[in-house]
Amino acid sequence: MDSETPRVPRPGLPDATVARLAIYLGALNALHAEGATTISSGELAEAAGVNPAQLRKDLSHLGSYGTRGVGYDVAYLRFQLDQHIGSPEHWPVIIVGVGNLGRALVNHSGFSSRGFRVTALFDADPRLVGTQVEGHSIHALEDLESVLDDPAATIGVIATPPAAAQEVADRLVGAGVGCLLSFAAVGLRLPPSVTVRRVDLGSELQILAYHRQMSLADGITALVSDPHD
């Protein structure tokens, strides 16, 4: 967060709402980059991949109703969303594990467009240490403490094989990192002070297969699901 204008996001929003607001903010950032100044709820809903009624309901919670026939002001709506879910601006992101997944994350446009900065990469493989990916040096995990400027504000992304994930998590928490995003399909034992999210890609496929079987079994023809429903 910007230290001159500290923004504390609004507490108590359910994850599903935060997820959708984050998606709206991502879509608005993309539209802003393309030069859009106003947008209708229908256009924003389409860009965000949600239904327009859900979008209008979510935005009305922010006290944002748009102007009939004109739509929403892109800059003001971005400001409002920022106020509600907080701006990740200046939040440093480090990625541990620079295999295919780690490399995909370094390049991920959704990180930079939301204001996150990848600041350092780490890998256990001595052949990778000292090389660069997209301008970022790969460090040895042993050098974690010396590389991190502000561990408490740093998001640590675990993109290692599952077998290494717990050790890496312990290492990160030991260095003061309080916020982890793990792609390892294993549970992590962590102190309760640490904020964690897991992205389990196998589970995503299984949820999808469940819905597909349901829709085939029931003859339901309309089912569009969102990861955060």
Binding residues for NAD(+): 97-102
CB of 119 to its own copies, least distance (A): 13
The string of DSSP letters for 59-115 reads HHHTT---BTTTBEEHHHHHHHHHHHH---TT-EEEEE--SHHHHHHHT-HHHHTTT
Distance of CA 26 to the CA centre of its chain: 10
Which distant-in-sequence residues (6+ apart) come within 8 Å of 100 by Cβ? Answer: none
The rounded distance, in Å, linking the Cα atoms of 79 and 34 is 17
Residue 156 φ then ψ, to 5° = -100, 120
Q: Which of 32, 56, 136, 198 binds its own copies (CB under 8 A)?
A: 198
Is residue 196 part of the contact set for its own copies (CB under 8 A)?
A: yes
> Binding its own copies by CB under 8 A: which of 42, 130, 162, 174?
162
Residue among 105 and 138 whose Cβ is closer to its own copies: 105
Residue 134, by phi and psi: left (phi above 0), alpha (psi -120 to 50) or beta? left
Residue range at the interface with its own copies (CB under 8 A); choices 33-41, 56-64, 122-130, 154-162: 154-162
**Nearer CB in complex with its own copies: 110/130:** 110
Q: How many chain residues bind its own copies (CB under 8 A)?
A: 89
Residues 108-127 that bind its own copies (CB under 8 A): 108-111, 113-114, 116
Residue among 59, 120, 155, 168 that touches its own copies (CB under 8 A): 155
Interface mask (CB under 8 A) for its own copies, residues 68-107, using x and -?
Answer: -----------------xx-x--x-x-----xxx-xxx-x
Torsion of CA 4, 195, 76, 5, to 10 degrees: -10
Closest distance to its own copies from the beta carbon of 179 (Å): 5
Smaller CB separation from its own copies, 4 or 15: 15
Ranges within 9-68 binding its own copies (CB under 8 A): 9, 11, 13, 15, 18-19, 22-23, 25-27, 30, 45-50
174 binds its own copies (CB under 8 A): no
Token output for 203: 């589970």
- Out of 62, 124, 175, 199, the residue judged to bind its own copies by CB under 8 A: 199
Q: How far is the CB of 71 from its own copies (least distance, A)?
A: 17
CB 177 within 8 A of CB 93: no
What's the closest the beta carbon of residue 67 comes to its own copies, in angstroms? 23
Nearest to 77, CA basis, from 58, 91, 49? 58
Q: How far is CA 165 from CA 24, 79, 160, 172, in A?
A: 31, 37, 6, 10
